[in-house]
Copies of this chain bind each other. A is one copy, B any other.
Amino acid sequence: MEKLVLHEYARSGNCYKIRLVAAHVGAPIERREYDILTGETRTPAFLAGINANGRIPVLQIGERFLPESAAACVYLAYGSPLIPTDRFDHADMLRWMAFEQYSHEPNVATLRFWLAFVGVARLTDAQRDQLPARRAAGEAALDVMEAHLRDRAFFVADRFTLADVALYAYTHVAGDGGFDLARWPAIEAWCARVAALPGHIPIDA
């Protein structure tokens, strides 16, 4: 395989997803750190050379650049058991990955970023105004996960797939954003199952 470089902000759950998949499939990746709090992914050099959208993570594969965590996870796991080949299960995996990016991450991850990384005292008025709505939407996303996991070990096809990777990344640290996971016991049990898998690495590895 071509040399892999992960352009990342290590504490980001989106970046962790890629490292977790790389660990499970045994792909060695180099890591290059950018401080998103000081705008290091918005410099002209980053926008011109790494990602015109100004975001991490970006997986560099040789001389090619692949933004978006879901795309990088699929690239790394291509042909592995982490991606179901059954037509419905494959699409259902993508369904949970899309749910995570649209209904979960903008709420659960954003509250973690605002409260644990930026700090509530440094939020703008506009951000502070959004706290209640993002809290409610984050809780609703966790409710959807809880209901689904009540009678399942994993999200799709009864085994660990990229759907679990995508949802685990920000869910297991949701406490940083003020979500008390004790309220969602099926999620807590699923988090423990994911963390106990052979090949697992923690977010701060």
Contacts of A91 in B (CB 8 A): 66, 71-72, 74-75, 78
Q: Taking the complex as formed, is A165 at the interface, i.e. its CB lies under 8 A from any CB of chain B?
A: no
Q: Which A residues from 133 to 156 make CB contacts under 8 A with B?
A: 133, 140-141, 143-144, 147-148
Complexed CA–CA distance, A144 and B54 (Å): 10
Q: Which residues of B contact A64 (CB under 8 A)?
A: 88
Does more than half of chain A's interface fall in helix, strand or loop, or is it mixed?
Answer: helix
**When chains A and B are docked, how far (Å) is the Cα of A94 from the Cα of B77?**
13
- Per-position contact with B for A68-112: 1 when CB-CB < 8 Å, else 0? 111110110010000000011011101100110111001000000
- A74: chain B residues at CB < 8 Å are 90-91, 94
A102 contacts across to B, CB distance below 8 A: 68, 101-102
Q: Is the CB of B99 within 8 A of A78?
A: no
Number of copies: 2
- Are A71 and B95 closer than 8 Å at their CB atoms? yes
Contact B53 A99 (CB under 8 A): yes
Does A158 make an interface contact (CB < 8 A)?
Answer: no
| Least CB distance, A97 to chain B, in whole angstroms | 8
Residues A78 and B90 in contact in the complex (CB < 8 Å), given A95-B67, A98-B71, A98-B101: yes
CB distance from A143 to the nearest CB of B (A): 8
Q: Is A36 an interface residue (CB 8 A)?
A: no
A1 to chain B, nearest CB (A): 10
Residues A68 and B147 in contact, CB atoms below 8 Å apart: no
Q: Which residue of B lies closest to A75 (CB)?
A: B91
- Contact between B101 and A67 (Cβ–Cβ < 8 Å)? no
Chain B residues with CB under 8 Å of A126's CB are: 129-130, 133
Q: Which 6 pairs from chain A and chain B are nearest by CB? A: A71-B95, A75-B91, A68-B98, A71-B94, A68-B95, A71-B91
Interchain residue pairs with CB less than 8 A apart (12): A52-B144, A52-B147, A52-B148, A53-B99, A66-B88, A66-B95, A68-B98, A70-B95, A72-B91, A98-B101, A101-B102, A106-B106
